[in-house]
Amino acid sequence: MQLQVDAIGKSYGTTAVLKGVSFSLSDGEQALLLGPSGSGKSTLLNIICGLQRPDQGSVAIDNQVIASPDSTAKSDEVRRTSLGIVFQTLRLVSALSLRANLELAQKLQTGRVDSGLIDESLDRLDISHRAGARPFQLSQGEAQRAAIARAVVVSPKLLIADEPTSALDRENTRRVAELLIEMAKTVGAGLLIATHDDRLGDFFPQNYALDQGELKSC
């Protein structure tokens, strides 16, 4: 997997949030995107995920464009089959059990249910015993791990996580960071995490800082 983010620009009204952000990620690489609240991290991830459209620039996975000012149905398809996303607000479906959430993600993204991968992921994330619970019955840490499970059971090429540790204590922060790294390796995915939590910097070899709309290596 090769992720190529090329000169992404995005403004809200007259405020430029991203001013030509470029970086790349190669097969199995893991990178951390650091920046204070409001610096544009979610905007950048949302553009990569197709939830928002850039004003300028493009994003490609394995040379197939997945985001540009004029995205097409083809790029929707590439994104759907390439990305596993852990949203900042988790976005688990509250009407469904944890297991049904994972099955639904697999059906929608891969077209089939892989119960073996679901069982393995629940087990590794230590939430097997909560598989029948609905999202509101989970603790914050369990819900965070449930959202990670949903993102990995689709066997993505790239695992994306937006503030995966913001609501967690120090011990759970370390645990979730290690689990994201381990789960990405298990399914052979690249890993891109956005956070304002610079404690996570210790876990990643490659860190970027988003500052005043520009991305710098740090």
Residue 35 interacts with ligand ATP (CB under 6 A): yes or no: yes
Q: Check binding of 141 to ligand ATP (CB under 6 A).
A: no
Least distance from ligand ATP to the Cβ atom of residue 41, Å: 4
Binding string to ligand ATP for residues 77 to 116, with x set by CB under 6 A, is what? -----------x----------------------------
Q: HSE-up of 12 (CA within 13 Å, CB side)?
A: 8
Task: Name the residue nearer to Mg ion (CB basis): 44 or 92.
Answer: 44
Q: For residues 9-48, b (16+ Cβ closer than 10 Å) or e, as one string?
A: bbeeeeeebbbebebebeeebbbbbbbeeebbbbbbbbbb
Q: Per rule CB under 6 A, is residue 39 in the interface with ligand ATP? A: yes
DSSP one-letter string for the chain: --EEEEEEEEEETTEEEEEEEEEEE-TT-EEEEE--TTSSHHHHHHHHHTSS--SEEEEEETTEEEE-TT--HHHHHHHHHHEEEEBTTB---TTS-HHHHHHHHHHHHHSS--HHHHHHHHHHTT-GGGTTS-GGGS-HHHHHHHHHHHHHTT--SEEEEESTTTT--HHHHHHHHHHHHHHHHHTT-EEEEEES-GGGGGG-SEEEEEETTEEEE-
Nearest-approach distance from CB 37 to Mg ion, in angstroms:
7
- Give the interface segment with ligand ATP, choosing from 35-43, 66-74, 107-115, 183-191 (CB under 6 A): 35-43
Q: Report if residue 40 touches ligand ATP, rule: CB under 6 A.
A: yes
Query: Does 164 participate in binding ligand ATP (rule CB under 6 A)?
Result: no
Q: Does 165 bind ligand ATP (CB under 6 A)?
A: no
Cβ proximity to ligand ATP, 114 vs 197, nearer residue: 197
Least spacing, CB of residue 65 vs Mg ion, in Å:
24
As measured in angstroms, the least distance from the Cβ of 88 to Mg ion is: 5
Give the shortest CB-123-to-ligand ATP separation in angstroms: 31
- Under rule CB under 5 A, residue 42 binds Mg ion: yes
Q: Which range touches Mg ion (CB under 5 A), out of 4-12, 33-41, 76-84, 96-104?
A: 33-41
Q: Residue 75 and residue 121: Cα distance in Å, rounded?
A: 28
Binding residue for ligand ATP (CB under 6 A) from 65, 168, 196, 197? Answer: 196
Applying CB under 5 A, the residues found at the interface with Mg ion are: 41-42
